[in-house]
Amino acid sequence: MFVDLVEIEVEAGDGGNGVVSFHRAKNIAKGGPDGGDGGRGGDVAFKVDDNLMTLMDLKYRRKYAAERGADGSGGQKTGKDGKAVIVRVPPGTTIYDTQDRENLLFDLVDDGQQFVAVKGGRGGKGNVHFKSPTNQAPREATPGRQGEKKTLLLELRLIADVGLVGYPNAGKSTTLAVTSQAKPKIASYPFTTLAPNLGIVELGNYKSFRMADIPGIIEGASRGKGLGLSFLRHIMRTRVLLFILDASEPNPGEALSLLQKELAGFDWRLNEKPYVVALNKIDLVPPDRIDEMKISFGPDCITTSGVTKAGIDELKRALGEKLELYD
Ligand SMILES: Nc1nc2c(ncn2[C@@H]2O[C@H](COP(=O)(O)OP(=O)(O)OP(=O)(O)O)[C@@H](O)[C@H]2O)c(=O)[nH]1
Ligand SMILES: [Mg+2]
């Protein structure tokens, strides 16, 4: 199952208490104060793990609480710090406070990157700290501070350079499959792809880019039709869009403007992104019609076939060039 949105509770550990204690020894009648401090509570942190692709694990466990710090003890012993909890998340996880959804707390991108979401409470002070010239036997110690608590919204936005956009059945997954090692499901019915796929497209000379395939979009998707537009969040951070149009359909030009309209309905910034158009399925189109379409779409349009692989190398090159141009 692909999970890209979860709400969870995180609770850092409270600090341990400082204690009141006095030094006791055989030949000392009244020893001085020796109550130690409490340990620090554990933090709850998030850490990027490149091997994860979804937030699924977090769907089944909604609460993460770290350990409390131990209380101090006599002999000026500080209590042990509470153990932290580290929650592993896929790259591209963005974290918001549910109380303030506009305010991005953190954007976790690189493998190993870590973010402390809630801090453990400080330990309290033992009575050893309260000794003064006028008070040699303080009976004062402070309790540990409370650990922070938050409810967080985690949203996954896949990290890719190029995002595939198109109507269902246009050949998006096929294009990903013939340009990368990815093996997405391909079938001759709409809405075959139900969750995003990622592939790495090799350009040679050690150059490559990441391409994301998402479910198809239909007219009215911004009003919830089909699978809706929520998957578009996965192409929000791509640098270039690749529109896949079915060239064997009567009006691919209209398909492009409808797609762009739906994108604008989700977030106008999507339409500001540079793009390349692939007129796909040209193996089903007579040559003179192909020439006609090439002229009307202009230079940023490549004619392709996922079946004969015509135009696929040219498409990879065009995407590579666009990415370099908008680096
Ligand atoms: N003739 C021909 N068929 C193609 C071409 N590309 C894809 N197809 C076929 O079109 C159908 C849909 O292909 P997909 O790659 O699953 O399309 P999609 O855009 O990912 O579809 P959804 O995931 O449903 O949105 C499959 O039967 C493919 O084999 C092509 O260039 N030529
Ligand atoms: Mg697909």
DSSP 23-74: --BTTBSS--B-PPPPPPPPPEEEEE-TT---SHHHHH--EEEPPPPPP-BT
DSSP state of 289: H
Q: Which two tokens stand for residue 191?
A: 């809405």
In this predicted model, which residue has the larger pLDDT, 110 or 227?
A: 110
Predicted pLDDT of residue 225: 79
Which tokens hold the place of 164? Answer: 């595939």
Average pLDDT, the chain: 92
* Sequence-distant (≥ 6) Cβ neighbours of residue 265 within 8 angstroms: 221, 222, 223, 229
Identify residue 265 by its one-letter amino acid code.
G
Q: Distance, CA 108 to ligand 2 centroid (Å)?
A: 27
Ligand 1: which residue has its CA nearest to atom 13? 171
Would you say 242 and 316 are in contact if contact means Cβ atoms under 8 Å apart? no
Determine the residue of 165, 178, 186, 302 to mutate for testing ligand 1's pocket, defined as the one with the most ligand atoms within 8 A of the Cβ atom.
186
Angstrom distance (rounded) from CA 314 to CA 75: 75
Residue 246 CA, ligand 1 centroid: distance in Å: 9
Mean pLDDT value of segment 314-324: 95
Q: Is the CB of 283 under 6 A from ligand 1?
A: yes
- CB under 5 Å of ion ligand 2: residues: 172-173, 192-193
Q: Global pTM?
A: 0.80
Nearest Cα neighbor of 38 from 21, 67, 17, 13 is 17
From the CB of 172, is ligand 1 less than 6 Å away?
Answer: yes
158 pLDDT band, cuts 50/70/90, is confident
In which band, very low, low, confident or very high, does the pLDDT at 174 lie, cut at 50, 70 and 90?
very high
pLDDT of the residue at 28: 67
- Stretch 122-147: mean pLDDT, rounded? 94
CATH superfamily assigned to domain 162-325? P-loop containing nucleotide triphosphate hydrolases (3.40.50.300)
Helix (H) or strand (E) holding 243: strand 240-246
Rounded to the nearest whole angstrom, what is the distance from the C-alpha of residue 56 to the centroid of ligand 1?
28
Residue 317: predicted pLDDT: 95
d(CA 192, CA 213): 11
Binding site membership of 281 for ligand 1 (Cβ less than 6 Å): yes
204 — alpha (psi -120 to 50), left (phi > 0) or beta?
Answer: left
State mean pLDDT over 209-221. 90
170 Cα–ligand 1 center, Å = 5
For the Cβ of 216 lying below 6 angstroms from any atom of ligand 1, the answer is yes
**What pLDDT does residue 170 have?**
96
- pLDDT over 90 (residue 326): no
User: How far is it, in rounded angstroms, from Cα 195 to Cα 50?
Assistant: 18
Residue by residue, DSSP assigns 85-151 as EEEEE-TTEEEEETTEEEEEEEEE-STT-EEEEEPPPPPPPPGGGG-BTTBSS-----PPPPPPEEE
Closest ligand 1 atom, CA of 281? 31
Instruction: Kindly give the number of the ligand 1 atom that is closest to the alpha carbon of 216.
Output: 25
User: Is residue 80 over pLDDT 70?
Assistant: yes
If you measure from the C-alpha of residue 105 to the centroid of ligand 2, how many angstroms do you get, rounded to a whole number? Answer: 33
Ligand 2 geometric centre to CA of 25 (Å): 78
CB atoms within 10 A of CB 70: 21
- Domain ranges in the chain are 5-156, 162-325
Paired residues of 275 in beta bridges: 241
Say if CB 17 and CB 124 are below 8 A apart.
Answer: yes
- In sequence order, what are the residues at sequence separation of 6 or more whose Cβ sits closer than 8 angstroms to the Cβ of residue 19? 35, 36, 38, 71, 72, 73, 74, 126, 127, 141
More confident residue, 266 or 178: 178
pLDDT tens digits, 231-254: 888 898 899 999 999 999 999 999
Q: Over pLDDT 90: what percentage of the chain?
A: 73
Q: Region 49-70: what's the mean pLDDT?
A: 92
What is 5-156's CATH superfamily? Answer: GTP1/OBG domain (2.70.210.12)
For the segment 7-49, what is each residue's pLDDT rounded down to a tens digit?
999 999 999 999 999 998 777 667 899 999 999 999 999 999 9
Mean pLDDT of 99-119: 91
Cβ neighbours of 129 (radius 10 Å): 18
Does the beta carbon of 174 sit less than 6 angstroms from any atom of ligand 1?
A: yes
In terms of pLDDT, which residue wins out, 193 or 116? Answer: 116
